[in-house]
Amino acid sequence: MEESFAIIVSYRDRQQHLNQFIPHMQARFKNADIFIIEQMPGKPFNRGKLLNIGILEAGEYPYYALHDVDMLPIQSDYSKPDCPTLLATKAEQFGFKMPYDEYFSGVVLMPHADLLKTNGYHNEFWGWAAEDNDFRDRVLHVGLEIKHRECTYRSLPHKRKVDPDLYKKNCDLWNAGVDLSNGLSNCEYKIISRKGNHLIVEI
């Protein structure tokens, strides 16, 4: 029997994607619980913090799939990893190849113990960029290996809005180095509503 795991999805303003994602994943993975963590309007999107909230609210699983809502697996292996493992190695939006060698985003499998070692994501990356680079640095900083699996994904189309000021702040924060004191251990949020495993949160 396949081991159960949690799929954690950071989410806001992509209902069409969610309408495709949930049935696709439910049909494919009978041994997974899907947690949708939706950010309230009012602040820039914070992917890393939403993933932290999902991990905390899901509770303990053997491992977690930290998952973007716009990536649908075509051929993929979600079996239990022995270390942090990138699955989104062949995504349609990147021409079915890695966008760059250090890419560590889209879909990542993390064993529970390794998430505790890294303390999850840094909570202060607001807007697009660098939270995934920082997370990769955290994984390597605590001495963990990163593996890759050859997995293919369909990419649901979306527009990417980049705030240049937030982008610079995020890059500066990333370049300042790894800060393991910020993460799961100090993630503050308020649950606005909960319908099953779909949470709307204020952060």
Q: What pTM did the predictor assign?
A: 0.96
pLDDT, residue 105, reads: 97
pLDDT, residue 160, reads: 74
Kindly provide the b/e burial profile for residues 55-65, where b requires at least 16 CB atoms within 10 angstroms of the residue's own CB.
bebbeebebbb
pLDDT, residue 128, reads: 86
Exposed, middle or buried by CB within 10 Å (0-12, 13-18, 19+), for 170?
Answer: buried
pLDDT, residue 1, reads: 62
Report the SS3 class of residue 150: coil
What is the rounded distance in angstroms from the CA atom of residue 76 to the CA atom of residue 63? Answer: 16
Exposed, middle or buried by CB within 10 Å (0-12, 13-18, 19+), for 2?
Answer: exposed
Report all structural domains of the chain as residue ranges with CATH numbers, in order of start: 5-202 (3.90.550.10)
Sequence-distant (6+) residues with CB within 8 A of 113 are none
pLDDT, residue 185, reads: 98
Q: What pLDDT tens digit does each residue of the chain (203 aa) get? A: 678 999 999 999 999 999 999 999 999 999 999 999 999 999 999 999 999 999 999 999 999 999 999 999 999 999 999 999 999 999 999 999 999 999 999 999 999 999 999 999 999 999 988 999 999 999 999 999 999 999 999 999 877 778 999 999 999 999 999 999 999 999 999 999 999 999 999 99
Strands in 32-39's sheet, in edge-to-edge order, are: 147-148, 85-86, 107-111, 63-67, 5-11, 32-39, 198-202, 190-195
- Both tokens of 185, joined, read 């251990």
